[in-house]
Amino acid sequence: MKWHCAIAFIPQNLKYTLNRANVMAEIINGRYEIIDTLGKGGFGETFIAKDTQMPSAKLVVIKKLKPLDSQNTNLELVQNLFAKEAQVLEQLGQNCTQIPTLYAYLIEDGEFYLIQEHIEGESLADIGIINFARCEAILSSLLNTLKYIHSQNIIHRDIKPENIIIRKSDGLPVLIDFGAVKETMGAMTRSNSSTVSSVVVGTRGFMAPEQSAGRTLFSSDLYALGLTMIYGLTGKYPIEFANNPLTGELDWDSSLPNIPAPLKTTLQKAIKMEVGQRYSTAQDMYLALHQSQTQSTTQDTVLVAPANNTGGMNSSSYNPTVVASPSGQNFSQGSAPHPVSGANYSQGYYQPPNQGNNNNIIVILLTAILVAIGVSGGFFAMEQMRANQAELERIEQEKAEAEQKLIEEQKRREEEEAKRLDSERLASEANDARLRAEEDKRRAEQEARNRVIPVNNQPTSINNPDVNTVDISDATVYIHYQSNESGARSLQDHLFSRGVNIADEIDQINGIRKNDIRYSNSSALPLARAVKNEIESFYRSRGINKNLEMIDLSARGFQTPTNQMEIWINE
């Protein structure tokens, strides 16, 4: 037995069962009592359990994983890769509160365990349709999380509504179920000692085209995040949208006429099919989401000169020909105070008649001073406005320089990744050719053995000499079955042994009435026929006659990668 501890100490006696009131309660490592099963798929199972060694008996999430093909997999290689991915999860969870904490990881009897923090809340798939403001808040928060993840040179690989939990305690989105750990379950070693994975991790509909082809980039996460937020706004999965006949892009926004322009533009660019038309980094997408808001705030801000104290006069209606008499009377424009009526003999003294003129002069002087103050205030306001504009231009320049540096860094990383992939491809071409030759020979022998089956059991198949030259290891398949999980997994193992890529998990779907193989377009027809013949040959070897109908998805308006197809089995 081999076990590892990421944070907490894990004692011996990894697993046993306890019979409590005639109910078998599974105990992991003598500590974690399983309460319920959260999910089950091709990579393993997920449980919710309680920590019996903590006073609070806190809840944890346990992921049990297993290699897809234990007989043909180097177990030591998978263990080493699993340990490395566990270290990555530990680091991410410690440094980011929106990623679950990893408590421990365990390996025993060819099965792999992750003990993780339980996040109390609802997934984005469960909370229903969200409004625009909440969508922007969730998207902005997740982009900050992805900025950190990508800065560690990590790609999530499986962003979808089910893998985003809105935490109950603070309402923040938490990103769960990183795909890299699943990818280790399909790790294989080539004869040249290089390591490859035989599985494509991700969820159909949310995977970017380059990810379906086996080349995952940082922008692949942004593509999946964009489609995930569109699901949050509409409640629809990508496959439920029609394609725009002019652009070929998903026609998702026609049902959201009032969506804010910055949010719409950001999501449209994030889900572009071409990598070069998308955002290169999470930072770019974050800035695009908030840029328009910043510009709008700047344009709506107006600097106003301070109000001048005009002694009760309204400066907008002030006219210098209108003055006040000593008694406080106001005269209309064009009139003047009478030279004698302004005399004041009250209080027992004589006031000269020209006192009114002196008062007029004082008023005019005060008015001139106030006008000068207003002019100078306007001048200072203009200067302040110019200074603010210069500061905004400086900030925009710095932001543009930072964005350019991020773009250059991303390009450099992509170039290095491309060089590495080219080097591996060149090094393995000769070995791949040998393996294909051996596989062709084995397939021919298998077909020769299959021909001994009586004619009445032979399925009707499409005769095409080109099928024999097609390498089915180029195919990536999704398997759906009616009810016989054991039979579907036997088919999965058979295709995997023939080099076919198995995409994520097999699905049980009720109501499958016939057997068919669904392929992307006419270019994929030879590859689909080769896979069809392989599946029918598999069932014939078991004495079962199954004819698979060929269905072209492009005729139904769907767009999928050429090498990707779906198998629907009625059993």
Residue 158 is a catalytic residue: yes
Residue that is written with structure tokens 């049990």 in the block:
64
Cβ neighbours of residue 178 under 8 Å, at least 6 residues apart?
85, 88, 89, 92, 154, 156, 157, 158
Q: What angle do CA 350, 357, 308 make, to 5 degrees?
A: 120
Task: Quickly count helices (H) and strands (E) in the chain.
Answer: 10, 20
Q: Is 22 left (phi over 0), alpha (psi -120 to 50) or beta?
A: left
Q: Which of 51, 158, 253, 504 is catalytic?
A: 158
Rounded Cα gap, residues 66 and 106, in angstroms = 12
**73 residue type, one letter:** T
Q: Is 501 helix (H, G, I), strand (E, B) or coil?
A: strand
Distance, in Å, from the CA atom of 14 to the CA atom of 31, rounded to the nearest integer, reads 9
Cα separation, 568 vs 341, whole angstroms: 109
> Helix axis angle, 218-234 relative to 282-300, nearest 10°?
60
Is there a contact between 132 and 234 (Cβ–Cβ < 8 Å)? no
* DSSP for residue 534: H
The residues near 121 (Cβ < 8 Å, ≥ 6 apart) are: 165, 166, 167, 168, 169, 174
- Catalytic (active-site) positions: 158
